[in-house]
Amino acid sequence: MKSDIFELIKKMNRMIKRLSAVTRKDNQNRGQGRTLHLIMENNGISPKELAGILDIRPSSLTVKLDKLEADGNIRRIRDRHDARIVRLYITNKGKESVAQRLKEKDNRNDFFNGFSTEEKEIFCTLSEKFCAEIETMIKKAENKKNRAALAALIELDEESQIGENPAAGGRLE
């Protein structure tokens, strides 16, 4: 094969990020834009719920939320019924930022101006197949990891029971 496919995919990803960085009109990175878009779709969401959707640690989300709040894109407001809970709300400035990003997203189709309709369809089909294969690999790895953790727990439980004599109500010496 002429090139390593995975290296080409990584190169495409880097180039898309670079293009986005130089064409973006606001100072937000991709992660902030996605976070802001999710807050708009789920106005009043808690940071804990949002961290779950984004599949990131709450501490990582806090950094993003701090930047979004400092830029005036979101507001954090304590829940009226339970002051322990903070809710996230998008501001008008945040809505404008999301609208701008959606316009930029529409321009992404320019990436494929040099492709025929058939080539675009083939690319989409292969990309979907690639993503499905990666998802399968992730699930297998997670299952293997979970099975290993379960086996370790079972082993610990069995070790703790060695030497116990249930009839005598205690441990054998």
94/143 same-domain check: no
| Domain assignment present for 18 | yes
16/33 same-domain check: yes
Domain count, the chain: 2
56/122 same-domain check: no
Q: Are 98 and 110 in contact (CB under 8 A)?
A: no
Q: What is the pTM of this model?
A: 0.54
What are the tokens at 164?
Answer: 């116990």
Task: Show the domain range for 44.
Answer: 5-113
68 closest CA partner among 50, 52, 83: 50
68/44 same-domain check: yes
Distance (Å) of CA 91 to CA 50, 76, 96, 144, 165: 17, 10, 9, 44, 66
Digitized pLDDT (tens) for each residue of the chain, 173 residues in all:
566 888 888 898 888 778 777 766 655 555 688 899 999 999 999 999 999 999 899 988 999 999 999 999 999 999 999 999 999 999 999 999 999 888 877 767 677 888 999 999 999 999 999 999 989 998 898 888 888 888 888 887 777 766 555 555 554 44
Q: Which residues contact 75 (CB under 8 A, 6 or more apart)?
A: 69, 88, 89, 91
